[in-house]
Structure 1
């Protein structure tokens, strides 16, 4: 596969990952509890709603698919950064950073919806206090995962800044996103929105790079040697 096609597919994978991650988090929110001040009656109503339970059941697989596509995008991003930096090892941090974000996000959402899954059976009686604790644990893990987003943005911004391919305002905006991601506990949902917007910009940039990348030259197949040429010439004998 030529380089332009690989980058284009990685870019579209990043675009699809944004949609799936947003949908997965939204599905988990239908039964999750991220506000400990929610009343006991409201918590139990969310947990015992069959429609909400069924919708939340799709949250983990949708998130897993989104994370897989994000990893695909990060490999393409690493390839672009390798080209810009001339092989700087810093570019290789992009994939582990995306994996850190994805792993903690899936774990956090799974904890948040675990009580609803257990309430689906008749063997579990939901306790609002337990649900609050699991919901807050999931929120803490999800916000911790934003550190991976901060690393991903910081590495990309640093390399593109050194290569002088970004305007000054874009560099400073990207560093602001890094600060928001690293302070996710205090910025709340603002950091998640900021990273999503940055990721949209990164996807658009990768698709542009893919259009500017020339396709790989076709390599002609090696011609088979002629039957006569493959024969060993007879050895000359002296009289």
Structure 2
């Protein structure tokens, strides 16, 4: 597979990951408890609602698909950063950082919706206090996973800044995203939204790189419109 096509697919995988990650979290929220002040009756109503349970059942697999696509995108982004930096070892942190985020967010959402799945079996009597504890544990884990996002953004920003390919305003905006992600739990939903917007920008960057790579003729192939090299006449 040629390089430009591989980068294009990685870029579109990143775009799809944004949609699936948002959808997976939203589906889990239908039965999850992220507010310890929620009343007992409201918690039990959410857990025992068959429609909410069925919808939330799609949450973990949708989220897992989003994480898989994010890892695919991360491999393409790492390739772009390798080219920009000339093989800087810092770029190797991209994929593990995405994996850290993916692993913690899946674990967090699973803890949050676990009580609803257990209630669906009709063999489990939910306790509101237990549900609160699991819900808050899941939230803390998922928000802690934003540290991986912060590493991903920081590495990308540093390498593109050194290569001079990122405007100054975009550089500072990216570092703000890093600060929000590293403050994770305290920044609440702001960090998640900021990372999603940054990820969309990174997807655009990878797709542009793929287009530029496609426009560059491969080594040994004359560019379109270039005059062919005349054959040389052997001399005696």
TM-score, normalised on structure 2?
Answer: 0.91
Match of 2:186 in 1: 186
Quick one: distance in 2 between partners of 1:122 and 1:98?
Answer: 37
1:15 maps to 15
What is the CA distance between 1:38 and its match in structure 2? 0.2
CA distance in 1, matches of 2:202, 2:78: 12
The answer for the alignment partner of 1:144 in structure 2 is: 144
Distance 2:131 2:177 in 1: 32
Give CA deviations for 1:135-181 in whole Å, capped at 9, x if unaligned: 00000000100000000000000000000000100000000000000
Match of 1:53 in 2: 53
Which consecutive residues of structure 2, in runs of 5 or more, have no partner in the other structure? Answer: 221-236
Deviations 1:169-220 (A, max 9, x none): 000000000000000111000000000000000001111111000377499x
Which residue is equivalent to 1:78?
78
Cα pair 1:48 1:119 within 8 Å, conserved: yes
In 2 relative to 1, CA 20–183 (structure 1 residues): closer, same or farther, beyond 3 Å? same
Q: How many residues are matched?
A: 220
Q: Give the alignment's TM-score, normalised by structure 1.
A: 0.90
**Which SS does the other structure have where 1:213 is aligned?**
helix
Structure 1 position 132 matched with structure 2 position 132: yes
What is the rounded CA distance, in whole Å, between the counterparts of 2:112 and 2:192 in structure 1?
Answer: 17
Whether 1:68 and 2:68 are equivalent positions in the alignment is: yes
For 2:37 and 2:70, the matched residues in 1 are separated by 34
TM-align CA RMSD = 1.4
Correspondence 1:204 to 2:204: yes
